């Protein structure tokens, strides 16, 4: 089964994540099928870059987002205040 999940690539104490499509049995930073975006929680507000077309294509093919990726997608789509 394919999952859309985070892959950590940041330095020590400075996390930075790629949002990737990977086999659910692969390790967190192991092999992946495709990269659909990235997430930087250290900026204010957190930087989220997603390729919506790729993301939707993989969801249509049956890939399921992890809980953390679901929260990131919802926060990206939420209206900005201020």
CATH number at residue 39: 3.30.1320.10
Domain span at 45: 2-77
Q: Which residues contact 63 (CB under 8 A, 6 or more apart)?
A: 2, 3, 4, 21
Query: Based on the structure, what is the number of domains in the chain?
Result: 1
- What does the pLDDT profile of the chain (82 residues) look like in tens digits? 999 999 999 899 999 999 999 999 998 888 999 999 999 999 999 999 999 999 999 999 999 999 999 999 999 887 766 5
Residue 24 lies in a domain: yes
Residue 82 lies in a domain: no
- CA dist 17 and 39 (Å) reads 5
Residue 10 lies in a domain: yes
């Amino acid at each position: 089964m394919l999952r859309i999940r985070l892959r950590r690539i940041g330095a020590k104490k400075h996390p930075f994540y790629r949002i990737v499509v990977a086999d659910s049995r692969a390790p967190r930073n192991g092999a992946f099928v495709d990269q659909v975006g990235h997430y930087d929680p250290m900026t204010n507000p957190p930087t989220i870059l997603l390729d919506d077309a790729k993301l939707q294509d993989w969801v249509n093919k049956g890939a399921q987002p992890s809980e953390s990726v679901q929260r990131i997608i919802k926060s990206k789509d939420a209206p900005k205040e201020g």
